[in-house]
Amino acid sequence: MNTRKIIGINLKYLRYTANKSQEEFYHNLGLSYKYLASVERGEVNITVNFLDDLAKRLNINVSDLVTFDETKVIQDKRYDSKRVEIK
């Protein structure tokens, strides 16, 4: 699994545990939810500087974003009552 996908998995996990939509979660961090949605999907390469800034905004270590943990893989498409399980 590549690092982009791992970062996306970890971001989605953090957002789900906060019970926030992408828009709410990233807006509260002062970031573009449209851009971060593509980061969650592992579609874009982010810079090391952005990774460092993101970790600071989330109040976590960079290693928390780049380390794979299979227990953090979210299979649902939504965090709310309209959840649709990915098959």
DSSP run (H or E) holding 1: none
pLDDT tens-digit map of 33-79: 999 999 999 999 999 999 999 999 999 999 999 999 999 998 776 55
**pLDDT score at 77:** 64
Looking at residue 82, its amino acid is: K
**pLDDT score at 76:** 73
- 43: alpha, beta or left, given left = phi > 0 and alpha = psi -120 to 50? alpha
Q: Is the pTM of this model over 0.75?
A: yes
